[in-house]
């Protein structure tokens, strides 16, 4: 089974569903009579990586993601205004790296630092 993201007129993902890819091996893109457009997405793709080496559209689509035609990628919503898009992964990156210890942190947009969860 394949997964498909339904796009609105602004290429925003409004729904993700399971469908069947056509037997001819071509990528399935569904165009429903109502004019709805669906783009195939891969459940195991994240940041342009796939465990079996077959990434599709950089990231698995989710409701609220945007499909970028030029990048042929699904991009999650920007979590904070200060974060920037990483072109290789189509994921967002904080302006300061998150600490790599075992503790839990949350981003503080007003101070632009990672605060320790207490």
Residue with tokens 């600490």: 99
| Residue 42 scores a pLDDT above 80 | yes
- Answer for the pair 77, 61: CB distance below 8 angstroms, yes or no: no
Per residue in 47-97, pLDDT tens? 999 999 999 999 999 999 999 999 999 999 999 999 999 999 999 999 999
- How many angstroms separate the CA atoms of 118 and 75, rounded? 31
Nearest residue to 64 via CA among 79, 76, 56: 76
Looking at the DSSP bridge assignments, the partners of residue 92 are 85
Altogether, the residues listed in the chain come to a count of: 118
- How many angstroms separate the CA atoms of 78 and 110, rounded? 16
Quick one: DSSP state of residue 12?
B
Q: Is 16 left (phi over 0), alpha (psi -120 to 50) or beta?
A: beta
């Amino acid at each position: 089974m394949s997964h498909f993201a339904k796009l609105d007129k602004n290429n925003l993902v409004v729904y993700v569903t399971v469908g069947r890819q056509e037997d001819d091996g071509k990528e399935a893109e569904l165009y429903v009579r109502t004019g709805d457009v669906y783009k195939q997405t891969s459940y195991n793709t994240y940041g342009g990586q796939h465990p079996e080496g077959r990434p599709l559209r950089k990231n698995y689509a989710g409701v609220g993601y945007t499909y970028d035609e030029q990048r042929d990628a699904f991009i999650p919503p920007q979590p904070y205004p200060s974060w920037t898009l990483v072109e290789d992964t189509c994921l967002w990156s904080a302006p300061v790296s998150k600490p790599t210890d075992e503790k839990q942190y949350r981003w503080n947009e007003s101070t632009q630092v990672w605060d320790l969860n207490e």
